[in-house]
Amino acid sequence: MEFVEKELKAWGEILVTTSGGQHFEIHLGDTEFDYENRVIRLKAPNAHHVIEGDSIETITKHYGHKDD
């Protein structure tokens, strides 16, 4: 979980995949790291997600792009 926060702070926006296969795009402005409960809280436009912080298996850094 600490590594996820470090990478997010360095890049600003990352894609994470959990051990259960869920994918999330997290940003500095909408993500909170709760170390006491070991969860990552993501506020998305359509829902608030609580992600088990130690379940992150992959981190993908990507570049911004124009949607077509």
Tokens of 45: 């436009």
Which segments within 1-68 are labelled E, that is strand?
13-18, 23-27, 31-34, 39-43, 48-52, 56-61
- How high is the pLDDT of residue 62? 78
Whether pLDDT at 15 is above 90: yes
DSSP notation for 33-52: EETTTTEEEEE-SS-EEEEE
Determine the Cα–Cα distance for residues 62 and 52; give it in Å rounded to an integer: 23
Question: What pTM was estimated for this model as a whole?
Answer: 0.87
pLDDT tens track for 20-54: 999 999 999 999 999 999 999 999 999 999 999 99
Do 52 and 4 touch, CB atoms closer than 8 A? no
